Structure 1
Amino acid sequence: MTRGGLFGVVALALLLGAGGLWGATRLDWASTRVAVTGHGAVGDVPLAVTGAQVAPVLVGLAVVAVAGVAAAVALAGVARRILGVLVAAAGLGGLVVALVSWLDPPSAAELPGLVGSAAGGAAAVPGATVSTTAAPLLALVGGLLVAVGGVVLAVADRRLPRMGAKYDAPGAGRPRDPERTAWDELDSGVDPTTEGAFSRPERAD
């Protein structure tokens, strides 16, 4: 795989991972039934919480992953390897947060507090259970992609392109075209057919 191709794969992994982390926060992660008093409502109603309410840190980790793509373009060497470690840590953090939140979701009593003022005076219905969704899996995949992308940045820096490297020493090693050179000299006001005559030393009689 070429350097540019490898960097493209890394960038795609980070962007997809960031999308997975952010997208998971927009989905419902858990729900229960709560008793609502006041506001003209009586009885129990369903209450769901999103990933952003259960694990708000995932939004920040998604931003880190996107910023890592831009930074990776501008950095190289030790700086890019350090960036890779930080990005990998962000991905692992997102993976762990999503896994823990999925395996150990908030209790029915905790859910109204996560929703905040929107839940009003809601309280968990006695004996209510919490239903979870598969949305955290999206965050798990996103965190894994970000972590892998960060690891590649850290360990394969030498195989990744460096910004501006292909523009170093423009024209180096390329033979000059004599015809093009002659036209350039004419454009600058020099007659290439006579220039050499003035540069030759005169022979003594």
Structure 2
Amino acid sequence: MTPARRLGLTAAALGLGALGLWATGTLTWVRVAGRPAQVAADVRPELTPVALCVLASVAALVALGGWPRRVLGALLVVAGGWVVWLCADWLFGPPEFGWFAYAPLPTGPPAQPGQALGPPTVTAAPWLGAASGLLVAAAGVAVVWWASRMPRLGARYAAPGTAARVLDRDSAWWDAQDAGEDPTLNGSTGDPGQPPTNARG
């Protein structure tokens, strides 16, 4: 797999994970017959801010390199694992929904007088959140593993110093022209990207 493809796949995974978390944050999580349903903003309000942070990490992934990129990957693993735990807490917790759930269940009188109250039920929304968290965590592992094998913004695949030498020759070429000199009189081939040759052979 090429470095550019690694970067593209990792960025796509982060984008999909962020989209999934955002969608999860808009869905209903708990329904109770006769009472208002609870959406993610009532149950897990952390999901939307995490989705925005994951989306911002795509730009950071492209801009960073080396150990800062590995730190970013580790943070993504932690964030993804935390999201999975938040969602699993509601999926596999006790009947009161969640080992550490702080959002109260819907209470109060029925929405309509005389309407029967039913038991609370969890929708499939936490499954989407858990899957999105796993995707974010997997992308974080890929960032840590491939940190030095993915391109960075502005980087070139060349030997160390090659890009700088080409840039210097190019700048010297145009500087000579601005000064009214003919750079071809030095024996240059006419290509600013080529090193000057000895005119006397």
TM-score by length of 1: 0.69
Distance in 1 separating the partners of 2:92 and 2:19: 22
Shift of 1:103: 2.3
Bigger Rg, structure 1 or 2: 1
Distance in 2 separating the partners of 1:5 and 1:75: 17
Residue 193 to residue 166, structure 1, CA distance change in 2 (3 Å):
closer
Counterpart among 144, 153, 160 of residue 163 in structure 1:
153
Question: How many residue pairs align between the two structures?
Answer: 173
Q: Percent identity?
A: 40
Which residue is equivalent to 1:15?
Answer: 15
Distance in 2 separating the partners of 1:192 and 1:21: 58
**For 1:29, what is the secondary structure of its paired residue?**
strand
Counterpart among 30, 34, 50 of residue 39 in structure 2:
50
Which residue is equivalent to 2:5?
Answer: 5
* AA in 2 matched with 1:20: G
Which residue is equivalent to 1:152?
Answer: 142
Higher relative contact order structure (alpha carbons within 8 Å, sequence separation ≥ 6):
1
Distance in 2 separating the partners of 1:193 and 1:69: 46
8 A Cα contact 1:54 1:101, kept in partner: no
Residue 102 to residue 191, structure 1, CA distance change in 2 (3 Å):
closer
Distance in 1 separating the partners of 2:131 and 2:177: 64
Distance in 2 separating the partners of 1:135 and 1:86: 24
Counterpart among 122, 129, 144 of residue 132 in structure 1:
122
TM-score by length of 2: 0.71
Which residue is equivalent to 2:104?
Answer: 110
Shift of 1:75: 1.1
How large is the Cα RMSD of the aligned pairs? 3.6
Distance in 2 separating the partners of 1:138 and 1:146: 12
Distance in 2 separating the partners of 1:149 and 1:172: 36
1:142 equivalent in alignment to 2:132: yes
Return 102-111 or 70-79, whichever deviates more: 102-111
Which residue is equivalent to 1:39?
Answer: none
8 A Cα contact 1:10 1:153, kept in partner: yes
8 A Cα contact 1:29 1:50, kept in partner: yes
Counterpart among 46, 50, 54 of residue 61 in structure 1:
50
Shift of 1:111: 2.3
Listed as ranges, the gaps of 5+ residues in structure 1 are 34-44, 114-120, 201-205
Distance in 2 separating the partners of 1:194 and 1:19: 59
8 A Cα contact 1:24 1:51, kept in partner: yes
